Amino acid sequence: MVSLASLPEKLHEQVLRAMQPGEEPVLVARPIPTVVNRVSQPYIFFLIFAIFFDALFVLCSGFSALPFLLLFIAVPMGGIWYIYWQMQRTVYIITERRALVVRATFGKGWQTLSWPLSAGLVKERVLRADGSGDLILGFETSRDAEGDTTTVAQGFFNLPELRRVEQMLMGVAPAPKG
């Protein structure tokens, strides 16, 4: 876990803007910035497929595959880079009232996601062998122009010491009524 004061200046400013008056952080954590993670897996799969397809095209046709290389390899590489870039500019905060995610978005500034603390806040937990993992706190569903829906998990991803963060989150959340 990290201290609020140790955050980079721009990230620190955004955290202070995201918190409500009188709200104090109980926990401040940063994701482990890795290239391979739950969010980047589709890009990695597509990248492996693209490299295979590109090699097969070159072997079968004898032509330069530069256009395919640029399209099919650069796009997933850009997606992987963006996820890594965003993880380096993300902070997770638990206050006595809410769980917050503050992160940079390319071209859009900063995004803040917030969930009020309540029993059952954690929808899903993914624990890895090294003790790191993901806490899914909610899902965002969007619909495109064709009417297709996409559901994206939201929460704390690639956390070090997942159990500790989850226990702290549960310790701050109010007990269920009844």
The region of weakest confidence among 51-55, 67-71, 122-126, 145-149 is: 67-71
Is 178 among the domain residues? no
Confidence of residue 63 (pLDDT cuts 50, 70, 90): low
Based on the fold, state whether residues 149 and 93 are members of the same structural domain. yes
Based on the fold, state whether residues 121 and 55 are members of the same structural domain. no
Based on the fold, state whether residues 31 and 51 are members of the same structural domain. no
Is the pLDDT at 89 greater than 70? The verdict is: yes
Based on the fold, state whether residues 77 and 147 are members of the same structural domain. no
111-136 b/e (C-beta count within 10 Å ≥ 16 → b): eebbbebeeebbeeebeeeeebbbbb
- More confident: 12 or 51: 12
Is 69 among the domain residues? yes
Is 177 among the domain residues? no
Based on the fold, state whether residues 45 and 13 are members of the same structural domain. no
Is the pLDDT at 137 greater than 80? The verdict is: yes
Mean local confidence (pLDDT), 166-177: 76
Is 11 among the domain residues? yes
- What is the domain count for the chain? 2
Is the pLDDT at 178 greater than 60? The verdict is: no
- Domain boundaries, position 33: 4-39+84-172
What token pair was written down for 17?
């803007």
